[in-house]
Chain A
Amino acid sequence: MANILVIAEMAPDGKVRKSTHSAITFARNAGGTFSILVLGQGAKAAAAEITGYGAQKVLVCDDAYLANPIVERFAPTVAAVAKNGFDVIAVTASSFGKDLAPRVAAKLGAGYAPDISGVKDEGGKLVYRRPVFAGNAYGNCTLNTAVQVVSARQSEFSAAEPSGGSSPIEDVALAAKDAAAERVEFVGLDAAKSERPDLGEARVIVSGGRALKEKFAEVLDPLANMLGAAVGASRAACDAGYAPAELQVGQTGRVVAPRLYFAIGISGAIQHLAGMKGSKTIVAINKDPDAPIFQVADYGLVADLFNAVPELVTELKKATA
């Protein structure tokens, strides 16, 4: 039975990020017991949000030194806490989690299983499942070290719901600082400004490709507004500047699994499919009947998107009126 340390991630607004709830689900699925470590400036206030999830303890390191997501500042404290009897250290495979987890693993001499999509306890040994080759195969793996580090995919471990109870909150001290951290200066965050839901959490995503050109927002926004959807994009659309880079869905962008995914003017390259194949229902609109996206789409519409999308907005209005 593993004793798991879940690392919570804080958002710039001082709250625990929703993505953390996927790492909690990982801990529950792995069996055993778990505690949650919240680190950051304002961690104490944030910790109150996650005392109802069945953790043995919610550990808090609230320090201005951790105001910005510079992992060289976080890793020493995570590793120090991990040494208090934890077998598995779990983060969600967000950009922060992937940045931090290997550093922690190296500090602990631990094996690291990145971006896992499943976990099973087989006779006391945890077996992790993870996608490789852009999700075209899955590997089952075990780590050969007593202490193990994992990052869990948000798209595969659904957000944990509260389970009641109230975990005790306990303060932990900031560990001795690493010299490496002195060489990283946080200059600033250019945050995406959007009223829309985050790609990782959205129930509906409307994604557009290169075909949208300069009309990316003009065409897709009305549909996204109508559905309360997040907007995503292909790499080609991001590279061309039609959509901001942080909207990229795919092997090297965000990996998403909403209830409903629209691929509009997207050809369906392997690297794009890797980021959205897990969606429950996929709709593709493309004027090329042979576009590979139709191979994964539940509903395909061969049409010019510049006509089809406005019509879709009108029809949806009627249907949901």
Chain B
Amino acid sequence: MKILVPLKRVADPDNANKVKVNAGKIETTGLEWKPNPFDEYAVETALRLTENGANPKARLGEVVVVTFGPKETESTLRQALATGADKAIRIDATDDQLDGDVVARALKALVEKEKPDVVLAGKQAVDGDSNQVGQLLAEYLGWPQATFAGSIKSEDDKSLLVGREVDGGTINVRVGLPAVVSVDLRIVAPTSVSSKHSPAHKYPEGVRFAALMAIMAAKKKPLTEMKLADLVSDAALKITYTGFELPPARKAGIKVASVPELVEKLKSEAKVL
């Protein structure tokens, strides 16, 4: 199985409260770049789906990671190569040249070249929180989609059984390949991803880390560069941000000393009981 994983770097999500707004623009200076957590989960999922339980040295497929970004995003790709991805592609672009629609249209062209069986994306990039690229891409390709995947079972090479985490429960669907799947948090739980070639052991919770040897070896794995114009002739954006602002601050609260005091405040001050 050949899997394409679109991977974005984002400003450190655990410090998103340090995002500043300056003259209507977002400033992330001082924040580290990190891979979008959902995309790390997608890489992990892709690796699990192409693992050979019988012979851990042999892969049962290929994982290609792709990012849209400036030169320095290559380190995000190298990281993914070090954890086990086979090949990387960087589409040269700056953030202000991109919106979800351009990314999706460019990915469509890339998919037509690379011909993966599955595109495994994150369900959302946690900077823009848009949750759209996977769905847009699926429609542009005329492929089915399985969004919010919390579990994936590869039964054969023709379809995937996907548990989709939706409001109020889980929807199980079987999608015929090729398809777009976007992954949710629970996909990296120990038994969320399986195929008939899965190793006998359970996976640890979360994503794998790269060993030092692998980091060295990743420097030799193929990383190619393309221009956005190689993929889309019309790179016009569909969305324009006219300005950003910080959310209104919440009024500072108080600490109460006891449960009866809490109840009293809720009743007579907040009037919510």
Contacts and interface: CB of A to CB of B under 8 A. Distances in A.
Interface of A: 19, 69-72, 75, 94-96, 98-99, 101-103, 105-107, 110-115, 127, 131-145, 178-192, 198, 200, 204, 235, 238-239, 245-246, 251-252, 254, 259-260, 269-271, 277, 280-283, 289, 294, 296-303, 308, 311-312, 315-316, 318-320
Given A187-B161, A301-B259, A312-B262, 16 more contacts: A70-B173, A99-B145, A102-B136, A103-B139, A107-B139, A111-B101, A114-B131, A137-B244, A138-B244, A139-B243, A139-B244, A180-B142, A183-B144, A269-B14, A298-B254, A319-B273
Where chain A touches its partner, the secondary structure class is mixed
Interface of B: 11, 13-17, 19, 21, 26, 38, 100-101, 104, 123-124, 126-132, 135-136, 138-140, 142-148, 150, 161, 164-177, 179, 184-186, 189, 205, 236-247, 250-251, 253-256, 258-260, 262-267, 270, 272-273
Given A139-B244, A252-B184, A300 B166 contact: no
Contact of A132 (B127, B132, B238): B127
A320 B273 contact: yes
A311 B261 CA distance: 12
Contacts of A178: 142
B242 A270 contact: no
A107 B140 CA distance: 8
Interface centre among A139, A246, A318 (most CB of B within 10 A): A139
A316 B132 contact: no
Contacts of A312: 259, 262-263
A69 B171 CA distance: 9
A123 to B, nearest CB: 13
B142 A184 contact: no
Contacts of B132: 98, 101-102, 105, 112, 114
A260 B266 contact: yes
Contacts of A179: 142
Nearest to B185: A252
Contacts of B171: 69, 186, 188-190
Given A111-B238, A283-B262, A312-B262, A299 B129 contact: no
B128 to A, nearest CB: 5
Given A98-B131, A142-B242, A252-B185, A298 B270 contact: yes
Contacts of A181: 144
A218 B261 CA distance: 24
